[in-house]
Amino acid sequence: MEPLLDVRELRLSLPGGGSVRAAPVDGVSFSMARGECVGLVGESGCGKSLTSMTLMGLTRSLPGARIEGQALWDGRRPAGAASAGPIDLLALSERSMLQYRGRSVGMVFQDPLSCLNPLLRLDYQIAEVLRRPQLTDTGQRAGLRGASLKQRIIELLDMVGMPQPEMRAQQYPHQLSGGLRQRALLAIALAGEPELLICDEPTTALDVTIQAQVLATLRRLQQERQLAVLFITHDLGVVAQLCSRVLVMYAGRIVESAPTEAFLRDPQHPYSQGLLASLPGRQQLRSRAGHERLYSIPGSPPRPGQFPPGCRFAPRCPRAADVCRSSYPAMQASAAGQASCWFPGAAADSRPASSAAAVAGEQR
Amino acid sequence: MADPAPLLQVEALSKNFALKGGAVLHAVQNVSFSLRRGRTLALVGESGCGKSTTGRMILRLIEPSAGSIRLDGEELTAATAARMQALRRRIGIVFQDPMGALNPRRTVGASIIEPLLVHRIPASEHSDRLAGLMKDVELDPDFARRYPHELSGGQRQRVCIARALALQPELIVADEPVSALDASIQAQVLDLLLRLQAEHGLSYLFISHDLSVVRFLSDDVAVMYAGRIVEQGPKAAIFSQPAHPYTRALLAAIPVPEAGAARVQPLEGILPDATQLLPGCAFASRCPSAMPRCQASAPPLFELPGGQRSACWLNESAQEAS
Distances (CA, A) of A340 to A249, A257, A328, B149, B283: 11, 9, 8, 32, 49
Q: What is the pLDDT of residue A292?
A: 63
Query: Do residue A198 and residue A171 come from a single domain?
Result: yes
Give the helix/strand (H/E) hosting A87. strand A87-88
Average pLDDT, chain A: 87
Task: Report the residue of chain B nearest A219, measured CA to CA.
Answer: B263
Residue A358 has pLDDT above 70, yes or no: no
Residue A111 lies in a domain: yes
Range of the domain at A41: 5-243
| pLDDT of res. A350 | 44
Angle at A62 between CA A57 and CA A63, to 5 degrees: 145
Question: Which of B140, B182, B209, B239 is the best substitution to test chain A (most A C-beta atoms within 10 A)?
Answer: B182
CB contact under 8 A, A297 and B186: no
Residue-by-residue DSSP string for A278-341: T-GGGS-S---TT-PPPP--SS-PPPTT-PPSS-TTGGG-TT--HHHHHSPPPPEEETTEEE--
Tell me, what's the pLDDT at A338?
96
A16 and A138 inside one domain: yes
Mean pLDDT is lowest, of A318-332, B263-277, B287-301, for B263-277
Contact pairs from chain A to chain B, CB under 8 Å: 135
Instruction: Pick the more confident residue, B139 or B275.
Output: B139
Same-domain status, A235 and A317? no
In-domain check, residue A22: yes
- The count of domains in chain A is 2
C-beta of residue B237 within 8 angstroms of C-beta of residue B310: no
Most A CBs within 10 Å: which of B210, B264, B265, B273, as the mutation test of the A interface? B264
pLDDT of residue A362: 36
Q: B209 to chain A: nearest residue by CA?
A: A207
Looking at domain B8-240, which of 3.30.360.10, 3.40.50.300, 3.30.70.20, 3.30.420.40 is its CATH number? 3.40.50.300
Of B54, B16, B12, the C-alpha closest to B276 is B16
Q: Is B119 helix (H, G, I), strand (E, B) or coil?
A: coil
Q: Residue A162: list chain B partners with CB under 8 A.
A: none
Mapped to the 3 state alphabet, what secondary structure does A309-326 carry?
A: CCCCCHHHCCCCCHHHHH
If asked whether residues A227 and A257 sit together in one domain, one would say no
- From A136's Cα to the closest Cα of chain B, the distance in A is 33
Give the model's pLDDT for residue A352.
40
Q: Quote the pLDDT of residue A354.
A: 40
- For B226-233, what is the mean pLDDT? 96
The pLDDT of A78-91, averaged and rounded, is: 80
pLDDT tier at A285, thresholds 50, 70, 90 = very low
Residue B173: predicted pLDDT: 97
Residue of B nearest to A286 (CA): B216
Minimal C-alpha gap between B73 and chain A (Å): 28
Residue A137's pLDDT is 67
pLDDT tens digits, A5-59: 999 999 999 997 777 789 999 999 999 999 999 999 998 889 999 999 999 999 9
CATH classification at residue A70: 3.40.50.300
As a whole number, mean pLDDT of residues B87-113 equals: 94
| A186 and A72 co-located in one domain | yes
Both A235 and A267 in one domain: the answer is no
Instruction: Let me know: does A59 contact A12? Beta carbons within 8 Å.
Output: yes
Of all residues in chain A, the one with the smallest CA distance to B252 is A209
Complex ipTM value: 0.83
Contact between chains at A43 and B182 (C-beta distance less than 8 A): yes
**A104 lies in the same domain as A142:** yes
CA B4, chain centre distance (Å): 22
Is residue A151 domain-shared with residue A238, that is, in the same domain?
yes
In chain A, which residues have their Cβ closer than 8 Å to the Cβ of B36?
none
- Pair A73, A194 in one domain: yes
Pairing state of beta strands B171-175 and B8-18?
unpaired
pLDDT at A263 (0 to 100): 96
Q: Domain check: are A142 and A26 in the same one?
A: yes
Question: Tell me: the pLDDT tens digits for A217-232?
Answer: 889 989 888 899 999 9
> In the prediction, which pLDDT does A82 show?
63
Which of the four pLDDT bands, split at 50, 70 and 90, describes residue A139?
A: low
- pLDDT of B225 > 60? The answer is yes
Residues A214 and A320 in one domain: no
Asked if residue A231 belongs to a domain, the reply is yes
Q: Is residue A286 part of a domain?
A: no
- Cite the residue boundaries of each domain of chain B with CATH code 3.40.50.300: 8-240
Answer yes or no: is A248 within a domain. Answer: no
Q: Are strands A66-73 and A5-15 parallel, antiparallel or unpaired?
A: antiparallel
The arithmetic mean of pLDDT across residues B153-164, rounded, is 95
In this structure, the number of other CB atoms found within 10 A of the CB of residue B228 comes to: 22
Q: What pLDDT sits at residue A60?
A: 92
The Cα of B283 is separated from the nearest Cα of chain A by a number of Å equal to 13
Q: Which of A47, A216, A284, A363 is nearest to B235 (CA)?
A: A284
pLDDT at A266: 93
Q: Does residue A291 register a pLDDT over 60?
A: no
Are residue A230 and residue A273 in the same domain, yes or no? no
Please report the pLDDT score of residue A111 as a whole number.
79
Q: Bigger pLDDT: B215 or B222?
A: B222
